[in-house]
Amino acid sequence: MQARQMVNHGHFLLNGKKHNISSSFVDIGDKIILKDKLKDSALYSQNAAENKGKTPSWVKLDKAANTVEVLTEPQVKEIGLPADLLKVIEFYARA
C-alpha cells in the first residue's frame, strides 16, 4: 500500500516523464527514477537499507542514481506465486 501511495503522489519518473499511475505495466528497458527532490528523504534511505541484497535478477538497480531498469520479464519461480499456476490455467481452460 505504501508503494502505491508513493507512485500516486508522483515521487517517480518513468523513462524521464512524470508518472503517477500505480497500476500501469512497465516494459523491458523502462527506467524508473526517483525524483531529485526526494533523494535525501528519510523514507527512501530507510527503505533502501531494509531491502539490501533483495534485488530480483530481472531488474538492474543503481543505488547511486536512484534508478531501476527492467532487464527482462520475471520468471514464475522468481515471483513466488502463492498458487499452482498450472492448475489455475487448467481450471480456466475447461470453461
For residue 57, the domain's CATH number is 3.10.290.10
Task: Print the domain residue range for 63.
Answer: 2-93
The count of structural domains within the chain is 1
Nearest by Cα to 34 from 25, 23, 45, 26: 45
CA distance 21 to 23: 6
As to burial, measured by CB atoms within 10 angstroms (0-12 exposed, 13-18 middle, 19+ buried), residue 31 is: middle
- Mean pLDDT across 60-78: 88
pLDDT computed for residue 49 by the predictor = 54
Set of cell numbers at residue 33: 527514477
- Specify the 3-state DSSP secondary structure of 85: helix
What value does the mean pLDDT take over residues 39-53? 67
